[in-house]
A and B are shown apart, each in its own frame.
Chain A
C-alpha cells in the first residue's frame, strides 16, 4: 500500500516538474455576506422553499408548539397518531406535540416505524432555500431526518443567513452535515424535476418570525 501511495505522490511531483508554477492567488470578489434585513431574508427563504414544493408555516416564537402540530396536520393529515412521530433528542419541550417519542438511539433502520420526524436545524440559507442539519441534539442523527416519510424542521429567525458562504462559516466542518433543499426529488426522467424518491417526500418548515 505504501508503494502505491509513494508512487502516486511521486508521479504528481514529476508531473508538476522541478520548478512548479506557484499557486495563483484566489480572489474572492463574489458576495460573502448579505446586507438584506432579516424580514426580507425570511421572505426569500419562504419563497425558495415553496418553489421546491416544501410547505412553510410562519409563526411567532411562542406559537412554535402549535405550529409544529399544524405542520404535522399538513404533512400527515389531521388526526395523525402521536406514536408515529419521532423528534430529535435536543428538541425543546415547548416545540414537541404531546405524545410524540424522542429518538431513543435504536438501530437506524428501526426509524422506518415512524411516519414523521420533527427536528431543529443548524442554519438556513435564504437564497437557496436550504436547511442545514448538523447531527447535533436539535438536528438529530442523519437517519432521523431521512427515513420517516415526512420531515418537519423548525427554523429560528437567528439561524437564517443570506447565502452559502455565511452558512458554511457558521458550521463545524467535521460534524455529519446534511443540507436539505426541499423534499427528495429527481431530474433523471427527461431532466424535469419531480418530487419524492428515497428521502422524505414531504417537507414542512416551521419558520419563526
Chain B
C-alpha cells in the first residue's frame, strides 16, 4: 500500500457538548508528570545517549513495521474495520460490559468493578491477601502501571515481580517506563548489561559477571534464569488484557517472551486488570485486531504467543480467576465526542515509533505511562486537560501518527481539540490569548490587517539594515531566534505592491 492510495489525513473539529464526569484522581498512579513537557524535554534532549538509543530503536522498528504492513494487501480495509468495530464498541459499551460480566461469571470467573485507581488497587490487594501470598508475578500491563499497582502492593507488604524483559529492566534499574511496548527503549544493550550485573543475584559470585556479554541473546538468557524460579513458585499472577470478547467472555494477552504464558498458566490465582474500553463485541472481531496489532507493534506478522482464556478451565491453568474492570477517567473521555476516539487505542505504540517529537524527547518527558502521540491525547483526557495542559502542544501536528495508527485514530485532530479545551478553560486572559484575540480582530478586517502588516514592516528598524532581525529579541520571539534567524520583513507586502502596480 502506498501513502497516496490512502484517504487524506483529516484535521477536523466536530462539535462537542460534554457532560462532566470524574477524571483519574490525583495522588495515585502514573498519569501526571511533575514538570511540563517543554521543561522535561529540554533535559532529555541534552542526553546524547538517550537520543542515540531512541533514534536507533525507533528507526529499526519503523522499517520492520513498514515491511510487514506493506505485504498485507487489505491493510486499509482492516484498519477501517478496526476503527468501525471500536466505534461500535463505544456506542454500546454499557451493554457489552454487562454481557462480558455474564459470560466470565458463567464460566467460573469473578468480575469486579473499579471506579478509579484507588479502588482497583484496593480490590487487587484484597484478592492477593485472601490467597495468603506475599508476592505476585506480573505480565506487562499498561493498566496496572497507570494505577500504580506495584506501589500499592508494596505498601501492603506484597512484592510484585515484573516478568516482561523490558519491565524487568525498568524495575531492576529503579527507572520509569518510557514506551508502551518496550518500556526500556531508552536503554541500550550495554546499559542493560550493567543493570543486570548490578542487581541480579546470579551475577554476585566473583567471576560470574564475565559470563554476561551485552549480546541481546545473552541478556535474554539472564532474564530467563533470573525469573524461572519465581514463575515456578508463584501462586498469584496479575495481568492486563489486550482484548476481551463480550460475546464469549474470552480474555486475550498478546506477548512475545512466554512470560505471559507462565503467569497465565502456572499460578493458582489469576487477577486481570483491564480498562473498560478494551472490549470487542464478538469473537469474530478478534480476526481484525489480531492482524492489526502484531504488525503495528513489534513489526511481526504474528507475535510469538497469544493466550486466550475464558473463565476457568478445570485441569488447565489458574483455578481462580478475577477480572477487574477499571474506569479511572475513561468515562470522562467517552463523554467527549471528539476525544473519545482515543479510547480506540490498542496500545500498539506505532504512533510513538513514527513520532518525531517522541523520537527526540523520549517517553519520560510526557510524565505519564502513556507517552507519545496517543499519550498526548489520552493522558490529558484521563486526568482532565488542566492536569496535563502541556501535552496537547507536544506535537508539530505532522500527522505521521494518524497514518501509522492501525485503528485510524485521528490524533492530530484530537490534539487540536484539546488545545482548544485548554484555552477555553482559562478563567483569566493570558498574554497569549490577548495576542491571538488582537490578531483575530486584525485578520478579520482588511484595513486593520493592512495596518498591522505595516507595523510588522516596522521591524526593519530593529534590523538596522541587516538581512535578519537581531538574535536578542524579547520573548516569545526569543524562543524562535535562539536557534533560528528571522528574516527582516520586507519594505512592502505583496498585496500592497500588487495594489500599487495594478492600481487598486
Question: Known: A1-B112, A173-B248. Is A188-B166 also a contact (CB below 8 A)?
Answer: yes
Interface residues in chain B, defined as those with a beta carbon under 8 Å from any beta carbon in chain A = 19, 21-22, 53, 56-58, 60-61, 64, 73-74, 77-78, 80-81, 84-85, 87-88, 90-94, 97-98, 107, 112-115, 119, 163-166, 169, 182, 184-185, 188-189, 192, 216-217, 219-221, 223-224, 227-228, 231-232, 245, 247-250, 256-259, 261-262, 264-266, 276, 283-284, 286-288, 290-291, 294, 298, 300-311, 313, 315-317, 325, 327, 331-332, 334-335, 340
A193 contact set on B, CB distance < 8 A: 298, 300
The reply to whether A174 and B84 form a contact with Cβ atoms under 8 Å apart is no
Interface residues in chain A, defined as those with a beta carbon under 8 Å from any beta carbon in chain B = 1, 4-5, 7-9, 11-17, 20-32, 48, 51-52, 105, 108-109, 112, 125, 127-130, 135, 141-143, 146, 163-165, 168-169, 173-200
The reply to whether B258 and A29 form a contact with Cβ atoms under 8 Å apart is no
Q: B149 CB to closest chain A CB, in angstroms?
A: 17
**Cα A123 to Cα B352 with chains together (Å):** 34
The reply to whether B302 and A168 form a contact with Cβ atoms under 8 Å apart is no
The reply to whether B80 and A27 form a contact with Cβ atoms under 8 Å apart is yes
Closest residue of A by beta carbon distance from B227: A198
A21 contact set on B, CB distance < 8 A: 91
The reply to whether A185 and B232 form a contact with Cβ atoms under 8 Å apart is no
The reply to whether A194 and B216 form a contact with Cβ atoms under 8 Å apart is yes
Choose one: A8, A146, A179; the contact of B331 (CB below 8 Å). Answer: A8
Question: Known: A12-B94, A128-B301, A199-B305. Is A169-B112 also a contact (CB below 8 A)?
Answer: no
**Cα A112 to Cα B102 with chains together (Å):** 36
Q: A24 CB to closest chain B CB, in angstroms?
A: 5
**Cα A25 to Cα B88 with chains together (Å):** 8
User: 10 A-B residue contacts at CB 8 Å?
Assistant: A4-B119, A16-B334, A25-B84, A26-B88, A29-B77, A30-B78, A178-B306, A184-B258, A185-B256, A188-B165
A197 contact set on B, CB distance < 8 A: 165, 220, 223-224, 256-259
B58 contact set on A, CB distance < 8 A: 191
Q: B478 CB to closest chain A CB, in angstroms?
A: 38
The reply to whether B265 and A173 form a contact with Cβ atoms under 8 Å apart is no
- How many residue pairs link A and B with beta carbons under 8 A? The number is 263
A185 contact set on B, CB distance < 8 A: 256-257, 304
B283 contact set on A, CB distance < 8 A: 168, 173
**Cα A12 to Cα B279 with chains together (Å):** 14
**Cα A29 to Cα B75 with chains together (Å):** 10
B335 contact set on A, CB distance < 8 A: 14-15
Question: Known: A11-B331, A188-B165. Is A20-B91 also a contact (CB below 8 A)?
Answer: yes
The reply to whether B327 and A11 form a contact with Cβ atoms under 8 Å apart is yes
Given A173-B250, A184-B304, A198-B262, 9 more pairs with CB closer than 8 A: A8-B97, A15-B331, A109-B232, A128-B301, A146-B262, A164-B287, A168-B283, A188-B169, A199-B304
**Cα A130 to Cα B287 with chains together (Å):** 13
A189 contact set on B, CB distance < 8 A: 165, 189, 192, 216, 219-220
**Cα A173 to Cα B302 with chains together (Å):** 19
Q: A35 CB to closest chain B CB, in angstroms?
A: 13
Choose one: B53, B64, B93, B258; the contact of A146 (CB below 8 Å). Answer: B258
Closest residue of B by beta carbon distance from A4: B113
Closest residue of A by beta carbon distance from B92: A23
What are the 3 closest A-B residue pairs judged by CB atoms, nearest first?
Answer: A199-B258, A198-B258, A11-B331
The reply to whether A191 and B19 form a contact with Cβ atoms under 8 Å apart is no
Question: Known: A29-B77, A197-B257. Is A24-B87 also a contact (CB below 8 A)?
Answer: yes
A181 contact set on B, CB distance < 8 A: 300-305
